[in-house]
């Protein structure tokens, strides 16, 4: 899909929408905005998704942190970032109704295709899968001068109303809602979300040994327990660490991840439980 940046004509937009819809109809999701197309806030990233398998494009650290939490959340079944609000007439009509100016492409008068940072599919208690939308905003960007803040809030309301038209709730998440320790842990765990076949066969035995060790020890350094497991299973210490991260990411081994988890931590049996 070509860049959607400057001197955009109506024909350009129509072509991009047609291309995007054809991709989706063929089972291939592609974000409406990609990292090469827009300025990023913080570090932009391209990451291969675990749940969807497609390449995710994140335009800020905040978006990446939200993604980590969504990937880890077992109730979330699919994650789509930079999701376009189509048909475009919805946001145009809502902007007119609100009496605000609809965003246009730079150096043109063509209304943009507005996109939402995340649209997710989530399984709720009834077993039904519903869609939810998330917009990621840095609080500093919502606390600028009054005129700019008012404009941003109006656009968020336009976005919310466009989703509401399709029965989708929109939630705003700022960096203040992000637990830094949790993100630290998830960034560490996700490295071994998947294991090669040679190592994954040890997963259940490793978890059983981990449970036995912490029950027996009562209290010990995490690195010491992982080393003892590696010796008992005749695997390397590095692989024992990988199996720890794998079990933590896949939640077959659970603990409070709002506290930073490091190999030097002293842990006790009551801290962890096995699924």
Strand arrangement of the beta sheet that strand 76-84 belongs to: 76-84, 115-123, 129-136, 169-173
CA 58 to mean position of chain CA atoms: 9
Mean pLDDT, residues 210-216 taken together: 92
Nearest to 76 by CA among 32, 133, 147: 133
What is the assigned CATH class of domain 180-274? Answer: mainly alpha
pLDDT band for 13, please (50, 70, 90 cuts).
very high
The structure tokens listed for 93 are 């009509």
Residue 37 has what pLDDT?
75
pLDDT, mean over the chain: 93
Q: List the chain domain ranges.
A: 10-177, 180-274
Taking only the tens place, the pLDDT of each residue in 26-63 is 999 999 999 877 665 557 899 999 999 999 999 999 99
Q: Do the Cβ atoms of 255 and 198 come closer than 8 Å?
A: no
Q: What is the mean pLDDT of residues 1-12?
A: 73
Do 8 and 17 contact (CB within 8 A), yes or no? no
The pLDDT of 233-238, averaged and rounded, is: 97
Rounded alpha-carbon distances, angstroms, from residue 246 to 36, 167, 253: 32, 36, 9
CATH 3.40.50.720 fits 10-177, yes or no: no
CA distance 84 to 90: 11
Q: What tokens appear for 144 in the block?
A: 């600028």
Q: Can you say how many angstroms the Cα of residue 95 is from the centroid of all Cα atoms in its chain?
A: 28
| Residue 41 β-bridge partners | 60
Please, is 2 exposed, middle or buried when counting C-beta atoms within 10 Å of its C-beta (0-12, 13-18, 19+)? exposed
* pTM for the structure as a whole: 0.92
β-strands 219-221, 266-268: how paired?
antiparallel
């Amino acid at each position: 899909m070509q860049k959607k940046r400057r001197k955009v004509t109506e024909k350009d937009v129509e072509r991009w929408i047609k291309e995007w819809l054809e991709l989706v109809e063929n089972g291939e999701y592609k974000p409406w905005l990609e990292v090469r197309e827009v300025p990023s806030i913080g570090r932009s990233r391209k990451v291969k998704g675990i749940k969807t398998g497609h390449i995710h494009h994140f335009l800020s650290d905040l978006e990446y942190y939200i993604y980590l939490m969504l990937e880890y959340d077992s109730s979330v079944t699919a994650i789509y970032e930079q999701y376009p609000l189509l048909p475009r007439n919805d946001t145009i009509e809502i902007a007119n109704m609100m009496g605000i100016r609809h965003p246009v492409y730079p150096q043109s008068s063509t209304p943009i295709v507005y996109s939402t940072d995340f649209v997710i599919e989530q399984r709720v208690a009834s077993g039904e899968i519903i869609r939810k939308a998330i917009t990621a905003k840095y609080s500093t960007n919502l606390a600028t001068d009054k005129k700019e803040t008012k404009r941003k809030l109006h656009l968020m309301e336009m976005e919310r109303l466009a989703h509401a038209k399709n029965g989708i709730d929109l939630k705003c998440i700022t960096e203040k809602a992000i637990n830094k320790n949790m993100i630290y842990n998830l960034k560490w765990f996700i490295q071994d979300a998947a294991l090669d076949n040679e190592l994954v066969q040890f997963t259940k035995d490793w978890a059983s040994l981990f449970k036995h060790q912490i029950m027996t020890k009562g209290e010990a350094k995490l690195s010491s327990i992982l080393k003892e497991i590696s010796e008992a299973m005749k695997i390397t210490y590095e692989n024992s660490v990988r199996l720890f991260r794998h079990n933590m990411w896949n939640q077959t081994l659970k603990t409070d991840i709002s506290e930073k988890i490091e190999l030097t931590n002293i842990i006790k049996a009551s801290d962890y439980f096995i699924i």
